[in-house]
Chain A
Amino acid sequence: AQTVTQSQPEMSVQEAETVTLSCTYDTSESDYYLFWYKQPPSRQMILVIRQEAYKQQNATENRFSVNFQKAAKSFSLKISDSQLGDAAMYFCAYRRAGNTPLVFGKGTRLSVIA
């Protein structure tokens, strides 16, 4: 079974600084997707960024980027120029190819300090 591990229950960052959230996963599949979701207090799950396993290039979405290390099964999220609105729970998630559900890590609570 696939598993996703987030080893940092909580992280904090100063406003305008950079923070990296860690995620590792375990799978025997070769075709899969990795995601980072943000969940603010409103409880809405917001897709932050997505990475296809077959792509070597790391995904980037504005201030958000990932460091995807397929051999190490590592998928970290870097948030640059952190803003107060970035404060939320961040979930790393895995999904094998096909119409399949997500498998989530336990989450990392990010605080942004003004």
Chain B
Amino acid sequence: SAVISQKPSRDICQRGTSLTIQCQVDSQVTMMFWYRQQPGQSLTLIATANQGSEATYESGFVIDKFPISRPNLTFSTLTVSNMSPEDSSIYLCSVGLGGTNEKLFFGSGTQLSVL
């Protein structure tokens, strides 16, 4: 398995501000995935981050709102910009491991509350 460190674990933010979430992995990985889990809901993919290229966003998510950086093979950040109460969710990063990346592991998540 992998050790995935995600920070912060939780935050309470004011409307209109931005928060950057960090995800650090203890091994090199090609792809990192960012998910959002709204209260009482399942996980929804925000974007896929590949080192050295622009992130690929899913329908309903845009780069201006959720900019992602992937400076190297062990680290990524997700920023939630110009926050509103609707952004209150758990945000999770995930990486694939194994010979064919068949196992996906998750960070511990960031609980975001927007007032």
In angstroms, Cα B92 to Cα A102, docked, is 12
A44's partner among B96, B102, B104, B106 (CB-CB below 8 A) is: B106
B108 part of interface (Cβ distance < 8 Å): yes
Provide the main secondary structure of the chain A interface: loop
- CB neighbors of B among A44-96 (8 A): 44-45, 47, 50, 52, 91, 95
| Inter-chain contacts of B96 with A (CB < 8 A) | 99
Contact B45 A101 (CB under 8 A): yes
Can you name the residue of chain B whose Cβ is closest to the Cβ of A37? Answer: B106
Q: Does A25 contact B (CB under 8 A)?
A: no
Q: In the complex, are the beta carbons of B104 and A102 less than 8 A apart? A: yes
List B residues at the A interface (Cβ < 8 Å): 30-31, 33, 37, 41-45, 48, 90, 92, 94, 96, 100-106, 108-109, 111
The reply to whether the CB of A104 lies closer than 8 angstroms to some CB of chain B is yes
CB of A10, distance to nearest CB on chain B (Å): 12
B104: which of A35, A52, A98 is its contact (CB, 8 Å)? A35
**CB distance A47 to B31 under 8 Å?**
no
Closest to B58 in A: A101
Nearest CB on A from B39, distance (A): 11
By secondary structure, the B interface counts as strand
Q: How far is the CB of B11 from chain A (nearest CB, A)?
A: 14
Which chain A residues have a beta carbon within 8 Å of chain B's beta carbons? 33, 35, 42-45, 47, 50, 52, 91, 95, 97-99, 101-107
Is B31 a contact of A99 with CB atoms below 8 Å? yes
Q: Which residues of A contact B48 (CB under 8 A)?
A: 101
Q: List 19 interface pairs A-B (beta carbons < 8 Å), by A numbering.
A: A33-B102, A43-B108, A44-B108, A45-B92, A45-B106, A47-B103, A50-B102, A95-B102, A95-B104, A98-B100, A99-B30, A99-B101, A101-B48, A101-B94, A101-B104, A102-B33, A102-B94, A102-B104, A104-B42
A97–B42 Cα distance when bound, in Å, is 22
Nearest-neighbour CB distance to chain B for A65, whole angstroms, equals 18
